[in-house]
Amino acid sequence: MRLTLTIALALLLGSVAAAAQRPSTLDLRVDMLTRHALMSEPATALVDLDRQAGAIRRAHWTVVGFVLTQLFEAAALFYLWSCGGAAALRDRLRRRFEHVWNVRFFFGAALALVARLAAIPPVFYLYRVDRTLDLTFELTRVWALYWIFHTIVAMIVAGLVAAIVLWLVSRTHQWYVYAVAGILAACVAWSYASSSTTSPTAHFLRGSTPPEIEYALAYRLGHIVHGDRLSIALIEGGIIIVFTAIAVVIADRIGFRRDDDPLSRLAIVGALLALVYLAAVPVRNAALRHYDFSADAYAVAQTRDPAAAVRALVRDGDQHMLEVCPDVTATLFLYTAPGIGARVAAINHVRSACP
């Protein structure tokens, strides 16, 4: 195993050299932390205090933006349904397209577009939060291009989901069995695909020392060895299924309008999905939080360098303004991983000093 980590580390030396060309006072401060301090102090005493103050402000602002995003999307979709706009859109599409599959696809895509447009203010606000805190140097026009790209992807996905689910409903009474299987398969496929395209040192590379990168690689390998990707995918798929079912049940309790049909009522289902997502995220975060502890333990056992693991976590917290001791709202809505304070305490066996 050590040989595997050494080979992977060697392959990354070019990236490490590039990162080293970026001098940073934060990196220099973390580099100066002694091994004794890393193994005897809680994370609250190791991180940069000014960056932690910024991390707390960022977390509060981000939670507000996240909640507003869901509320704006829900309000837009509910209004579209309640004012008869969804039924009018359905009729317009039926006049334009003969094939019912096309009608369903473009209706679902249109709902995604409405939701994305409605959420522009809070989404742009979240971008400005990171821009103000120098966590991104992305220009506004670049952000806009990414927004357009993600909107197109969302429209395609929503269109396919609407078309496939309604097709299943029209073909069999057991449509939900196929829908559940499809959701779980999609979550598993996405989990493995995203893992294979994400750098294993995405959050640790800049300014990191070779032992820190070795820890990051072993940490990633720990998730693979423990089968965490599959477990996480199944958990997320299960949460999607349960909370989608809740949204559908609530939608069924809302009376039909005179011009309603299953297609036009997708708007109100979408509105409820945006709202139940606010409840689903804390459940997901709580369910996924313990996986990082086992991956940390695996990485430390393989590298035999707990100080490097602590240094890597401290550096990551400083660079990305991650809270050492997240408050309740940040824990509920923002972080799938435990706080840096808890992770460092588990590694160096020192009290976390978190409230």
The model carries a pTM of 0.85
State the total domains in the chain.
Answer: 1
Q: What is the pLDDT of residue 22?
A: 47
- Quick check: 200 and 234 in contact, CB under 8 A? no
316-325 pLDDT, tens digit per residue, is: 999 889 999 9
Q: Is residue 23 part of a domain?
A: yes
Indicate whether 135 belongs to any domain: yes
d(CA 238, CA 256): 29
| 354 in any annotated domain | no
| Structural domain contains residue 97 | yes
* SS (HEC) of 53-110: HHHHHHHHHHHHHHHHHHHHHHHHHHHHHHCCHHHHHHHHHHHHCCCHHHHHHHHHHH
Confidence at 121, pLDDT banded by 50, 70, 90 = very high
Residue 353 lies in a domain: no
- pLDDT-based confidence at residue 100 (cuts at 50, 70, 90): very high
What pLDDT is recorded for position 4? 52
Q: What is the pLDDT of residues 165-204, one digit of tens each?
A: 999 988 888 888 888 899 889 888 888 777 654 444 444 6
pLDDT over 80 at 250, yes or no? yes
**pLDDT above 70: residue 8:** no
Residue 355 domain flag? no
Q: CA 81: distance to chain centroid?
A: 29
Give domain status of residue 189, yes or no.
yes
Mean predicted lDDT score pLDDT of the chain: 87
**Full domain range(s) for residue 215:** 2-348
Q: How confident is the model at residue 206 (pLDDT cuts 50, 70, 90)?
A: low
User: In whole angstroms, how large is the CA radius of gyration of the chain?
Assistant: 23
Q: What is the DSSP secondary-structure string of 128-147?
A: HHHHHTTS----HHHHHHHH
pLDDT (0 to 100) of residue 10:
46
DSSP 204-232: T-TT--HHHHHHHHHHHHHHHHTTHHHHH
In this prediction, residue 21 has a pLDDT band, given cuts at 50, 70 and 90, of: very low
- For the packed helices 2-11 and 210-225, what is the interaxial angle rounded to 10 degrees? 120
Percent of the chain exceeding pLDDT 90 equals 65
Distance CA 307, CA 203 (A): 17
